Chains A and B, each alone.
Chain A
Amino acid sequence: MTAVHLDNVSKSFGGVQVIKGISLSIQKGEFVSLLGPSGCGKTTLLRMIAGLEEANGGSIHIGGKDSTRLPPERRDIAMVFQSYALLPHLNVLENVMFPLRMRRLGNRAEQRERAEAALKLVQLSHLAQRRPRQLSGGQQQRVAVARAVVSSPQVLLLDEPLSNLDAKLRETMQEELIQLHRQTGLTTVFVTHDQEEALSLSDRVILLNAGRIEQEGTPAELYAAPRTRFAASFMGSTNLLEVALEPTAGGTIARLPGGQSLRLDGAAGQGNATVMFRQEDARLTPAPTAEVAATVVTRVFLGSRTRYVLDFGGHMIRCLPPADQLFAVGERVALDIPPDRIRVLSE
């Protein structure tokens, strides 16, 4: 069942089109991330689902109901803001009760009970009587989440809720969000510019670029098989090479300007193209005379692994080989990339 459906939605601000006809469906209970660089339109899209921005074109259905022209208070949604937007004149419990009060859900005692249950869900029952300003950033964040889930909305909207937290706390909150989603089963739309966050939290990632959907899929799909140059570079840890493709009997050869070449599986195309491979997919072996060889330029020790920057026929590439492989700076190594791990990108 579809919880949120956008059909050819567009939005302009002062003549500049920031959302260029986006259509997407979000299934009930799904956790979807809207991922993209700043200015890609991800926050605008979220605010349009919330009703805080009105669509210039297209339609928005929430829970099967046409909500395109409905004001936010008449949409069955809840939103967690980047700044948390807790009401400073109310205590924590009153903040969590607020949506129930405004939506007139149940009597006072029932509202209190539901708010207490929501606070328990985020493990803040003991702070119910505190004011928001007496709480730490992480605690405020949890109050905001409790306040958003308390009314069991059709869709929970999260606008970069973790960006104001420090790295360690962010990791903890990510885990808690996953758990919360499992417990509540709420349809969730999560906006972020952090691809790791999107990959680790979502069932599905929608990558946005300049007001359009660049690519969508499961985190594994997006990570392993980015279709475009933008998707490949945004998903990170990728080597991009400009090559000339030559079909041969056993597959395809990708020639680099420096004379080096790589083997690809199947008929991958012909002519100039961009290919990518992930830094962890390259295997290095000590082989000074190998045909496909590179020279170690820099070595960065990362704890569990070591990252190498290699000079590969004039191209700088990054490799993250298995931990047992150690090479010295200046050493010549053979570069072995499984042919099925090299992908040809469309521009």
Chain B
Amino acid sequence: MAEDNRKRNRSARGKKKSRKEIDVATELTQPNRIVKMKNVEFDPIIFQPMKTGKAIDNILDQDGGVPRASNYIVIGDPGIGKSTVTLDIISDLAETGHKVLFISGEMNRIDLYKYVQRYPKFGDIDILFMNEHLDENPKLVIETQLKEGYDIVLGDSFVEIQDTVKEALFMTSTATEKWIIDLMISNNMGNNNAKKYTTFLMIQQVTKGGNFVGSNKLKHNTTGMMEMRWTKSGEAYLEMNKNRRGPVNKRLYFKLDNPNDVFYDTGRFLMEENNRQMLNSEADELKAESDDFETMFAETGTNKFIDDVVTNSAEDEMEQHEQNLENQDTVKEPIAE
């Protein structure tokens, strides 16, 4: 019996090994592509950011606007307004003639209806409600929709879309994530009917501690990560903690009190920007002064005043005394037998 079991195990191990060997290719199907960037050409429109006309433009791209052909992850504290701010961004872009899509993995029509009462401009956005296509292959639903070609697509949330596809098609999390990332990259490159270099804003859930829950692969394949947080005094701000196209760690405070529009505190942003420049300049000044100090006293210090200086023999004596006391403490007492 035991011998049979051992045989079975050996056989199973052998099968696994042989399958692995079959799956891993041993030869390249095509030669590696080595690229010289000077020979690469892009449609110039890729490098023309899409302007919302609001202060958020200063946060995302150094040339101002939402960069094309890029992927952003948006994370933040619960209830801070991740959906509202991102919907506001794509609404503003829609108003300036950009083709936008909202893939809603979490909110349904009723939820969005309430939203639109407060922000009527959201009513003009094209929305794909994932929960209305539960009988379809969700992968196909999304691929077909993106094939139309959009300037910007908002996904809320990445995890929810990933789970919908994963559960419907019995895929692993890793495979689903890879599929979404590949789809995003493909659309970034304009592989759609309208040849749009699509930008994706993907809201991502966070842990209870407020940290990003996605994989490193997802993190590495994004252009930037936007964080929305509360200050201790209850003010909401957003900042980029990673950004390949623009600045990082610049806080833009915002409020959701106004109907139909996110209010960005542009004055404060510009003030902090101005302060930042001054702080940098001040740091340079301090560095130069520190160098001046070292030069000044390295040149003149040591010998110039040495004759004036009282030899601090009393302190040396005190140190010697302290040392003696320490030595006394460490003298080993005779061990009682």
Are the chains A and B members of one assembly?
no
